[in-house]
A = this chain, B = another copy of it.
Amino acid sequence: MPEPLHALIPRLREICGADGVVTDPAARRTYESDGITYHAAVPGVVVLPTTTAQVAAVVRLCAEHRVPFVPRGAGTGLSGGALPRTDGVLIATSRMRRIIEIDTANERAVVEPGVANLDVTRAAAPHGYYYAPDPSSQQVCTVGGNIAENSGGAHCLKYGFTVNHVTGLVVVTPAGEIVRLGGKAADAPGYDLIGAFIGSEGTLGIATEITVRLVRAPQKVSTVLAAFDTMDAGGEAVSAIIAAGVLPAAIEMMDALSIAAAEAAVACGYPPGAGAVLIVELDGPEADVDAQFDEVTRLCRDAGAFGIRTASDAAERARIWKGRKSAFAAVGRISPAYIVQDGVVPRTALPQVLRDIARLSAESGIRVANVFHAGDGNLHPLVLFDDAEPGAGERAAQVSGAILDLCVGAGGSITGEHGVGVDKACQMPEMFGPDDLETMDRFRRAFDPDGIANPEKLLPTPRLCGERPRVNKGAHPLVAEGRAELF
């Protein structure tokens, strides 16, 4: 352990209690990475505070000694945002798991940051409510982590991201001040720092109390599975649905390769011979859902759909979703290793970008499986390779990086919902000019002049990306094991 950290241990123990400070090397090693395991660093020390006051005291101590700190929720993030510092303090929120209040009259819940996403819904469900943002890791990932990454999920299309569901925060700033932003009301006077804080990946401090909207559980949910000969035909159905003014809760699409992988893994029984499948989920008042349901199936048929299956109860729905939900893990059946990419394109650019990805794949001889949120143009291409083959990881990383270039070139973005973290910090200049990045950096420095709050995440730095921060594609052997629960 670095010397300056060593001196802090007794004071950290005073703040968090002896059992709230982890110094044992083997125990610290369990925190060495988050959901992308190819970035790893053993934290200098781990603290497990239980209150806002403890978090603030830890951060003040770090600020006093100019020691960096990294916040961490469940560690399911996919951009290395929770990558620890060997010279720093890892502040884990795992002991801040209280659901403070379920206030159905105002349709709000107040929770601590370590509460699992799905536990908010579990607490609200008996009252007929749920918490809408649903990353696929929702059984595990925390609300605090969701705030750091502005997490999405399959149902973002209709319900928006985490930022659309948080109305109040108590935040410990990088100076260790406790600040209250917003509350239960829909809008507060002054700067909307909640919006800026959500998605700030721990660089502006730590949220210690979170007020979220609760959404009324829909009266009815209906799900349609439709198969198409080609991705283009599936894409046409998506465009037709949106153009008709229908706003489904989710529109998910899978290509032939990901269908084959899912079939091999879980025998999901999707229509044989499908070049693409589309899952469209509708929710809302019964009358509304029924009317839209007829329209969606008609539009799918018009676009050449076959093998249409529908579900209106939870068991049937689970069967339809099974293939989609297992797709990422299932790819492990057909490839020893793969990279999960996360990019966004304007919905109208989807067909062209998918064709370009197919061309890239054909030219490089590297297989790419596509599983994605079609409704909002959020792609998750899986770039397959054999990690036993020398150089294969690097070639796959190049294809993966080239896919991001396609996204940016089409007017899209380098990340849809997995965040920038350490993984894509050096790609920020692909999207933002020097004035834009300088503006963000000025904002960061306003709160963290000494750069101790999760340094070297989110924004490019010379140390990380070279003197002139630039694209650094393919630097890492991007290997992800199949972890179905993370997607």
Decide yes or no whether A391 CB sits under 8 A from chain B: no
Q: With a CB–CB cut-off of 8 A, which chain B residues contact A447?
A: 439, 442-443
Decide yes or no whether A388 CB sits under 8 A from chain B: no
Q: With a CB–CB cut-off of 8 A, which chain B residues contact A161?
A: 186-187
Q: Which of A131-186 contact B (CB under 8 A)?
A: 150, 152, 156, 160-161, 163-164, 173, 177-181, 183-186
28 CB contacts below 8 A, A to B, read: A105-B347, A128-B245, A177-B439, A178-B435, A179-B436, A180-B432, A180-B436, A185-B344, A185-B411, A187-B344, A187-B413, A188-B431, A189-B199, A189-B420, A189-B424, A189-B428, A190-B458, A191-B200, A191-B458, A192-B196, A193-B440, A195-B195, A216-B245, A219-B245, A284-B288, A442-B446, A443-B446, A445-B446
Q: Output the nearest chain B residue to A188 by Cβ-Cβ distance.
A: B413
Query: Which of B160, B163, B444 sits near A192, CB closer than 8 Å?
Result: B163
Instruction: Report yes or no: A440 in contact with B245, Cβ–Cβ below 8 A.
Output: no
Shortest distance between the CB of A173 and any CB in chain B (Å): 6
Shortest distance between the CB of A60 and any CB in chain B (Å): 13
Q: Which of A392-437 contact B (CB under 8 A)?
A: 411-417, 419-420, 424, 428, 431-433, 435-436
Assess A377 versus B185: contact at CB under 8 Å? Given A178-B435, A446-B443. Answer: yes
A432, B107: Cα distance in complex, Å: 23
Shortest distance between the CB of A206 and any CB in chain B (Å): 14
Instruction: Report yes or no: B435 in contact with A177, Cβ–Cβ below 8 A.
Output: yes
Q: Which of A185-214 contact B (CB under 8 A)?
A: 185-196, 198-200
Decide yes or no whether A285 CB sits under 8 A from chain B: yes
Decide yes or no whether A348 CB sits under 8 A from chain B: yes
Q: With a CB–CB cut-off of 8 A, which chain B residues contact A291?
A: 285-288
Instruction: Report yes or no: A190 in contact with B150, Cβ–Cβ below 8 A.
Output: no
Decide yes or no whether A346 CB sits under 8 A from chain B: yes
Shortest distance between the CB of A486 and any CB in chain B (Å): 19
Q: With a CB–CB cut-off of 8 A, which chain B residues contact A431?
A: 188-189
Decide yes or no whether A34 CB sits under 8 A from chain B: no
Instruction: Report yes or no: A419 in contact with B189, Cβ–Cβ below 8 A.
Output: yes
Q: Which of A432-487 contact B (CB under 8 A)?
A: 432-433, 435-436, 438-440, 442-447, 458-459
A interface with B by C-beta (< 8 Å):
105-107, 128, 150, 152, 156, 160-161, 163-164, 173, 177-181, 183-196, 198-200, 216, 219, 239, 242, 245, 247, 284-288, 290-292, 344, 346-348, 376-377, 411-417, 419-420, 424, 428, 431-433, 435-436, 438-440, 442-447, 458-459
Query: Which of B186, B239, B377 sits near A376, CB closer than 8 Å?
Result: B186
Q: Output the nearest chain B residue to A162 by Cβ-Cβ distance.
A: B187
Instruction: Report yes or no: B192 in contact with A150, Cβ–Cβ below 8 A.
Output: yes
Max chain B CB contacts within 10 Å: which of A152, A285, A432?
Answer: A285
Q: With a CB–CB cut-off of 8 A, which chain B residues contact A438?
A: 177
Closest A-B pairs by Cβ, 5 of them: A195-B195, A446-B446, A288-B288, A287-B287, A216-B245
Q: With a CB–CB cut-off of 8 A, which chain B residues contact A444?
A: 191
A446, B188: Cα distance in complex, Å: 21
Instruction: Report yes or no: B193 in contact with A196, Cβ–Cβ below 8 A.
Output: yes
A161, B415: Cα distance in complex, Å: 26
Instruction: Report yes or no: A346 in contact with B185, Cβ–Cβ below 8 A.
Output: yes
Max chain B CB contacts within 10 Å: which of A150, A191, A292, A447?
Answer: A191
Query: Which of B179, B286, B443, B458 sits near A439, CB closer than 8 Å?
Result: B179
- 14 further interface pairs, Cβ-Cβ under 8 Å (given A189-B415, A443-B446): A106-B346, A106-B348, A177-B438, A178-B435, A179-B439, A185-B346, A187-B344, A187-B413, A188-B431, A191-B199, A216-B245, A285-B288, A286-B291, A439-B447
Instruction: Report yes or no: A150 in contact with B187, Cβ–Cβ below 8 A.
Output: yes
Q: Output the nearest chain B residue to A377 by Cβ-Cβ distance.
A: B185
Q: With a CB–CB cut-off of 8 A, which chain B residues contact A183?
A: 411, 413
Instruction: Report yes or no: A459 in contact with B377, Cβ–Cβ below 8 A.
Output: no
Instruction: Report yes or no: B185 in contact with A412, Cβ–Cβ below 8 A.
Output: yes
Instruction: Report yes or no: A180 in contact with B433, Cβ–Cβ below 8 A.
Output: yes
A156, B180: Cα distance in complex, Å: 24
Q: With a CB–CB cut-off of 8 A, which chain B residues contact A458?
A: 190-191
Shortest distance between the CB of A235 and any CB in chain B (Å): 13
A290, B288: Cα distance in complex, Å: 10
A454, B250: Cα distance in complex, Å: 43
Q: With a CB–CB cut-off of 8 A, which chain B residues contact A196?
A: 191-193, 195-196
A199, B128: Cα distance in complex, Å: 33
Q: Output the nearest chain B residue to A288 by Cβ-Cβ distance.
A: B288
Query: Which of B164, B414, B439 sits near A173, CB closer than 8 Å?
Result: B439
